[in-house]
Amino acid sequence: MSQQQKVASPEMQQFILQQQAKAQLQQTVSRLTEECWGKCMGNPGNYMTSKEQACMDNCARRFLESTQFVVKYFQSKANQGGQHSDF
């Protein structure tokens, strides 16, 4: 008895990849907004002050830069001589 294997069509595969990318983006935005809300926002007024706006924008960008920084930092440590890597 032959097992009929169902393989996702190329269209479906692309859809899956798109949805994964979308979900990851939403998760990043969601987490960043939470993080930066705590750092930037005072009591909710009728509008965001320009200071709050700038803070939110800066916070998001610096957070992403920090991610790159951390990765690069450990990579450069690994390249310098792996005998010091503890894990």
Partner 1 sequence: MSSSHHEDAQAMAATEQAMQIAFLQDFYQTVRDKCFDKCVTKPSSSLSSSEQQCLARCCDRYAEATQIVTKAVLDMSGLE
For partner 1, the closer CB: 45 or 82: 45
For partner 1, the closer CB: 46 or 83: 46
Is position 66 an interface residue for partner 1 (rule: CB under 8 A)?
no
Tell me which of 17, 39, 51, 61 binds partner 1, using CB under 8 A. Answer: 61
Kindly give, in sequence order, each residue whose CB lies less than 8 Å from that of residue 68, ignoring residues fewer than 6 positions away.
Answer: none
Is position 3 an interface residue for partner 1 (rule: CB under 8 A)?
no
For residues 68 and 74, give the distance between their C-alpha atoms in angstroms, rounded to a whole number. Answer: 10
For residues 34 and 28, give the distance between their C-alpha atoms in angstroms, rounded to a whole number. Answer: 10
